[in-house]
Amino acid sequence: MGIILKQSLKNSLIIYLGFIVGGINVLVLYPEILKSEFYGLVVYLLSASNLIMPLAAFGIHNTIVKFYSSYSDKEQQDRFLSIAIILPLFIAIPLGFFWNEIQNWILTKLPTENKIVESYTLSIYIIAISCAYFEVFYSWAKVQLQSVFGNVLKEFYNRAVVCLLLLSISFGWITKPQFIWVLTGFYVLRTLLMMFYAFKLYAPKLTFQLPDNFKEVLRYSGYIILAGSAGAIILDIDKVMIPSKEVVNVAAYYAVAVFIGSFIEAPSRAMSQILQPLTSKTLNENNHFEVENLYKKSSINLLLIGGLFFLLVNCGVVELFKLMPEKGYSEGVLVVLMISVAKLYNMFLGNNGAIINNSKFYRIALPIGVGMALSVYFLNNYLFEFFRTDGFALATLITILVFNTLKIFFVKSKFKMTPFTNKSVQLILIILCLFSAFYFWDFPFHPILNIVLKSILIVTSYLFVVLKMNISPEIDNLIKRFRK
């Protein structure tokens, strides 16, 4: 786990720095400068582009991770990477050709009061294609086991750009409509930066010759493109559906709650950047022992770190919402809880998804992904009638709990391994006990002071118990290094 911990620590710092800047954007600048209506519009546009991105990428970003390490000679690697650049064009070009029809279809799904979207739908296409190629070149870097620069661009760059653009609006340098188009341009620039870096790491001899296993590559991409598109629906369908059911302002309220609830997954995102190519490599080498080792260690370590942030987020969220400028944001407390539980369960699975997607059983990712997409869509429509936007979060939670459990059983049946260790139950009980102890009360002070005091108590209590019970040797050794 040495290289994993080293790059994961760097990636975690970058991601948390990105989350800090993102938190300033989401909790302060967006509500104060854009206000909820225009903020809701931005949320809708970015979420819609995220839904299209996996389709536009043709699944190539996942295909690179799976197949690159399986090639033993440079010629085959060059053929493979050359085709990786070309294949997404078979989606991007037709999508652009029919974009007017797609745009008109989008507008028919929106009520009259949300027609503000009409002037900006082209940005959905540009951002989607830019993000698709960004992911392709990011995977290109990851298979060279160099994920840090790409992580800076993915997790920090966008948020820093948004911060600067929002401040530019505040100073009167740009208008709100210009904000969207300038932000779109910065997404294109990010892709170009990632492309130049990827070619710097490894510049293939570009060729139109196909790799020997092209049929297998194309078949895998076909499965993953559908599974990846379905998986993206879980993340962004809520924010896209809200403007068809509520005024666009509600998308802003919901997005803030989801952002706060998603804060706990940063370690998972950091570790996955290096775990994915390593998992693929060990599977290609048929190193069953190392696959299981990565599975268990990633699970317990992610659950440990995620558990701490789960407690910090949920035990301070009520006070945090008191600082927001509009009352509508405070209605997201339950959304934060449900989304954070879903994210914590995702972290508990460790590199389960990487094992499935990079093994010979990758085809199961399609029915699982489609099942999750259909479930969250129909549950959204059903539960919205009873719980409004809380129903969207509940739909996400139910879907993730059910299908992630199925994924655990699938890996158990095919690989005879689970993410459980003898410390897993102990750690879950620690999280539940501390949640019960800190969630239901607050200090009678100003919200900021309250959050700080509770956070100090939670961190101290959590680390004391976790270290005392020797939950994770990796975390124990890491803390001992800092002590030295």
pLDDT, tens digit, 9 for 90 and up, residues 383-394? 988 888 888 889
- Mean local confidence (pLDDT), 59-69: 80
Other beta carbons within 10 angstroms of residue 285's beta carbon come to 12
- Provide the pLDDT for residue 4: 53
Q: How far is CA 119 from the centre of its chain?
A: 28
pTM, to two decimals: 0.79
- Mean local confidence (pLDDT), 244-248: 66
pLDDT at 120 over 90: no
- Mean local confidence (pLDDT), 282-310: 86
**pLDDT-derived band of residue 183, with 50, 70 and 90 as boundaries?**
very high
38-52, 128-142, 223-237, 282-296: least confidently modelled range: 223-237
Please give the full DSSP string across 401-453, using - where no structure is assigned. Answer: HHHHHHHHHHHHHHHS--S--TTHHHHHHHHHHHHHHHTT---SS-HHHHHHH
19-62 pLDDT per residue, tens:
788 888 887 888 888 877 788 788 888 888 888 888 888 888 87
pLDDT at 188 over 90: yes
Other beta carbons within 10 angstroms of residue 144's beta carbon come to 12
In 143-212, where does DSSP find H-type helix?
148-151, 158-170, 176-201
Left, alpha or beta for 456 (phi > 0: left; psi -120 to 50: alpha)?
alpha
Q: What percent of the chain has pLDDT over 70?
A: 87
pLDDT at 472 over 70: yes
- Mean local confidence (pLDDT), 220-228: 74
d(CA 479, CA 259): 29
- pLDDT top residue among 15 and 193: 193
pLDDT at 461 over 80: yes
Average per-residue pLDDT in the chain?
83
d(CA 362, CA 356): 5
- pLDDT top residue among 190 and 473: 190
**Residue of 106, 103, 59, 63 lying closest to 81 (CA atoms):** 63
Please give the full DSSP string across 201-215, using - where no structure is assigned. Answer: H------SPPPTTHH
Q: How many residues does the chain have?
A: 484
**pLDDT-derived band of residue 340, with 50, 70 and 90 as boundaries?**
very high
Return the structure tokens found at 335: 């959304």
d(CA 300, CA 39): 37
Return the biggest CA–CA distance within the chain: 69
d(CA 329, CA 16): 23
The amino acid at residue 351 is: N
Q: What burial letters (b/e) apply to 42-57, b meaning 16+ CB within 10 Å?
A: bbbbbbbbbbbbbbbb
Per the CB < 8 A criterion, the answer to whether 58 and 87 are in contact is yes
Return the structure tokens found at 9: 């620590």
DSSP character at residue 357:
H
- How far from 86 is each of 57, 115, 135, CA to CA, in Å? 10, 36, 14
24-33, 305-314, 423-432: least confidently modelled range: 24-33
258-285 pLDDT per residue, tens:
888 888 887 676 666 667 777 777 887 7
Rg for the chain, CA atoms, rounded? 22
Residues 6+ apart with CB under 8 A from 230: 366, 369, 370, 372, 373
- Provide the pLDDT for residue 35: 77
**pLDDT-derived band of residue 232, with 50, 70 and 90 as boundaries?**
low
DSSP SS3 for 359: coil
- How far from 19 is each of 4, 26, 127, 287, CA to CA, in Å? 21, 10, 21, 36
Q: What percent of the chain has pLDDT over 90?
A: 23
DSSP SS3 for 358: coil
**pLDDT-derived band of residue 1, with 50, 70 and 90 as boundaries?**
very low
- Provide the pLDDT for residue 127: 93
d(CA 366, CA 246): 32
pLDDT at 2 over 70: no
Return the structure tokens found at 39: 């903020």
- Provide the pLDDT for residue 261: 85
d(CA 68, CA 277): 9
- pLDDT top residue among 129 and 253: 129
- On the CB side of 317, CA atoms within 13 Å amount to 31
d(CA 409, CA 475): 28
Return the structure tokens found at 234: 């879980």
Measured in degrees and rounded to the nearest 5, phi and psi for residue 109 equal -85, -5
d(CA 30, CA 167): 10
